[in-house]
Amino acid sequence: MSFRSILKWLAIGVGGLWLLGALQLVALKWIDPPTTAVQMERRAEAWIHAKPYRKRYQFVPLEAISPQLQHAAIAAEDARFYEHHGFDWHAMEIAAEDDMGGGHRIRGGSTITQQLVKNLFFGTGRSYLRKGAEFALVPVAELVLGKQRILELYLNVVEWGPGVYGVEAASHAYYGTSARKIGRDQAARLAAVLPLPLKRRPDRMDHYSEIILERMREMGW
């Protein structure tokens, strides 16, 4: 087989995977995902290392999630969520400059849409191939899902702790209540966990939760 033929079949394969991902995103406009790549990855890790694993995951509609919690997540992870179309180039530039300067960042330059696509399809691994696939699917997510559905999906599938996925499970796990009843301080503490969900706990997030609360005030929330 010639090099040109290999490239041709490689292109067909990549195009087919993109189409499959795009079709799944279209379906997610109406269907709540039963699992995600991150959830499957965590289960596989537990099996490989022979560790106990308990999955807590309950999908709830956006109206069943406290507005305070919605606002806290946006303020913490993607302040320009309603302004961009999937990519926040300004945040990426700042993140790249911090990396080059050896600075310490509280969060990266990925948007909520990017994080959703990564959670759904690619897991936590890092590679240029994965990043390229993510960049190809983010515009599709923005186009077919819309901001409110993206936010609803994100809050419901993102990891909040070991085996804890979504705001409903997180609210019960950490505060013994539903996502609908989460207050302002609790919301900020939960949002503070998002960058490092396997290492952070809400009750230890005093400093970062104050930063998130201040961002919320600056954003008019």
pLDDT of residue 160: 97
CB 109 within 8 A of CB 94: yes
CB 157 within 8 A of CB 120: yes
* Residue 159 backbone phi and psi in degrees, to 5: -80, 130
Domains plus CATH for the chain?
3-218 (1.10.3810.10)
Decide: pTM greater than 0.75: yes
> pLDDT by residue (tens digit) across 75-114?
999 999 999 999 987 766 665 555 445 554 455 679 999 9
- Give residue for tokens 């394969």: 13
| Bridge pairing between strands 56-57 and 164-165 | parallel
> pLDDT by residue (tens digit) across 153-206?
999 999 999 999 999 999 999 999 999 999 999 999 999 999 999 999 999 999
Of the candidates 82, 74, 86, the one whose C-alpha atom is nearest the C-alpha of residue 141 is 86
CA dihedral defined by 184, 120, 173, 63, rounded to 10 degrees? Answer: 50
**HSE-up of 187 (CA within 13 Å, CB side)?**
26
Selected residue with higher pLDDT from 98 and 221: 221
Mind giving me the DSSP string for 51-110? -----EE----GGGS-HHHHHHHHHHH-TTTTTSSS--HHHHHHHHHHHHTT---SS-S-
Please give the single-letter amino acid code of residue 44. Answer: A
